[in-house]
Chain A
Amino acid sequence: MALKPPPPPSVTALACRNCGAPLEIRAPGRSVVVACGACGAVLDAQDPQYAIIARYETKNVVAPAIPLGIRGRLKGEPWQVIGYQVRRTKIAEATYSWLEYLLHNPAQGFRWLVESNGHWTLAKTAAGVPSTVAEREAEYLGERYRHFQTAKAETAYVVGEFPWIVKAGDTAVVDDFVHPPLTLTRERTDQDTTWSVGEYLTGDAVWKAFTLPGAPPAAVGVGPAQPSPYSPRSRTMVLMLAAFVTAAVLIHLVFSMLSQQRLVLDQAWEFNPNASATATAMTEPFVLGGRTSNVLAEISTTVAQSWAYFTLTLVDAETDASRTFGREVSYYFGRDSDGAWTEGVPWDRAWLPSVPAGRYVLIVEPEGPQAFNYRVRLTRDVPRPLFVWLAIGVLCLPPIVFWWRKARFELLRWSESDHPMSGQSSSSDDDE
C-alpha cells in the first residue's frame, strides 16, 4: 500500500502587534517567538494574543539573501527557511558579521544554515556534550576538533520565528572548533551552554538546494571548515612520486645492464711542444657498433703543474662526416701557509652524444707548454647517471608545488583564527 505524503505544515498568518506588518508562523507549536523584521518587535508565538515580549530599534530593514518561507532540499531532506538573524563580533576594533538562517523540517526539527564570507555551514544541535582538552581541542563522536576561534557574538538583527526567546542585543561567547569539513560550536550564555555540529557547504550547493536566482556571495579566503582540495590527494602524490623515482632508477639500471659499454679504442701517445711530429696523432679505423648512442671519451695525462688542451676529431671513415670537440686538462698542486693544495686533475672525460654506428678514426691534436704523455680511451654506449638525477629532480617539482599550495591553503585557513600558523601569537594565546 502506497504511503500518502504528509500534508504540508500549516501556516498561521498574523499581523505584528506593534506595527501591523504581516507575519507568518511556519512551525506552529515549535516556535517560541516570532520577530518582526519591520519594527523589531518580538512576539510570543505561543500566546494566542501574540503578546510583545521584547522590542528593539531597527535602523535598517535587512533582506535575507534566502527569503523566509522558501523551501529547499539539503542533505536529502526538505527544509523551510523560517528565521534569520545577523550576528556580529568585534575583534581588535574591527566588526565582523555573519548570517544565520533557521531551517525547519517537521520531522527533523531545526537546522542552522550559517554564512560567513561566502562560506556556508549546515549545523544542528549536537547529540551529546563534547569533551574539551585544555580548550585547544574538542572531541565529539570519536573525532577531534581543533580550536579555531573564540568570540563574543551579539545578535544584531532578527526576523522570523525561533524556538527560543531571541532578540537583538543578545550576546553569547562562541567557541568554534574545526575538523574540516566539520565544525563544532559551543555557545555560552549566563543561562546555558549549547553545542552544535555543522558541515561545510559551498554557496553553489545552497543556491541549488533552494533554486535561488543569480549567484551566491563569492567566497572570500578559506573557510574555517572548508575541506582542503589537497589533503585527499597527498597520499596519492607521495605514492606517485615514489613510483616515478623507482621507475627512473629502474630505467637507468636496465640500460646499464643492457648497454654495450664496449671499449673501442685505447691508445697512448706522447706530446712535445718542440717536436712537430707529435702535434697530431691519428688512430687506425675502429668500429662503433649497435644503435645510435653515446661514446665516452677519457683522456689521461702526465700533466703536472701545467695544462694541456686537446682538439679531438671523430671522422666517419665511410662518409668523412666529422665532429670536433675540445677538452682541457690542468693539474696544479703545492703547499702554502694553509697547507697542501691541489687544483684540477690530470685527466678528463666527456660524453659524445648520439654517435651513429660506423667505422671511425680519431684525430688528436694536443697543445701545451710542456711535454707530457697521454692516453685516449673511447667506450661505446655508456649510460649517464646525471640524467637519472635530473629526472628525479624534475619529478620532485610538481609534488613540491603541490605541498606548497597545500600548506598555503592551511595558512590561509588559520590566518583568521586565534592560532595563526605564521608564528604570530593571538590574544587568546597570550592569555594562556
Chain B
Amino acid sequence: MTKVYAVFGGLVLAALTWVHLTGWSPSNVTEEKGIPKSVRDNPGSYRSTYGTRPYTGAK
C-alpha cells in the first residue's frame, strides 16, 4: 500500500506541477446566461441564506 501511495502521490504532485506550468484547467470558463429573467428580477426568491441569520422563508 505504501508503494502504491508513493507512486500515486508522485503522480498527483507531477500533475500539480504540470497544471501550474501550463495553466491548464478542467473547468469551462464560460458562464451560461442560464439564470431566468424572472429570477434576475426577483433575486430574493432563490436566496438560501441571509448572511448569518437563519432562513425564514422566501420573499
Partners in one complex: yes
Interface set, chain B 11-59, CB cutoff 8 A to A: 12-13, 15-17, 19-25, 29-33, 35, 40, 43-44, 47, 50-51, 53, 56, 59
* A393 CB, nearest partner CB in chain B, Å: 10
Q: Which residues of B are found within 8 Å of A352, using beta-carbon distances?
A: 29
Interface set, chain A 341-367, CB cutoff 8 A to B: 341, 343-344, 350-355
Q: Which residues of B are found within 8 Å of A286, using beta-carbon distances?
A: none
- A12 interface residue (CB < 8 Å to B): no
Interface set, chain A 218-277, CB cutoff 8 A to B: 230, 233, 236-237, 240, 243-244, 247-248, 251-252, 255, 259
The answer on a CB contact under 8 Å between A291 and B5 is no
- A61 interface residue (CB < 8 Å to B): no
The answer on a CB contact under 8 Å between B32 and A344 is no
Report the contact-size class of chain B (Cβ under 8 Å from the partner): 20 to 34
Number of A positions contacting B (CB below 8 A)? 53
| Of the residues A259, A328, A353, contact of B29 by C-beta under 8 Å | A353
The answer on a CB contact under 8 Å between B21 and A291 is yes
* B11 CB, nearest partner CB in chain A, Å: 10
Q: Which residues of B are found within 8 Å of A240, using beta-carbon distances?
A: 2, 5-6, 9
30 contacts between A and B (CB under 8 A): A236-B2, A240-B2, A248-B16, A251-B16, A251-B17, A251-B20, A291-B21, A291-B22, A293-B23, A309-B33, A326-B33, A327-B30, A328-B31, A330-B35, A330-B43, A338-B56, A339-B53, A340-B51, A341-B50, A351-B25, A353-B24, A354-B22, A381-B23, A384-B25, A387-B19, A391-B13, A398-B4, A399-B5, A402-B1, A402-B5
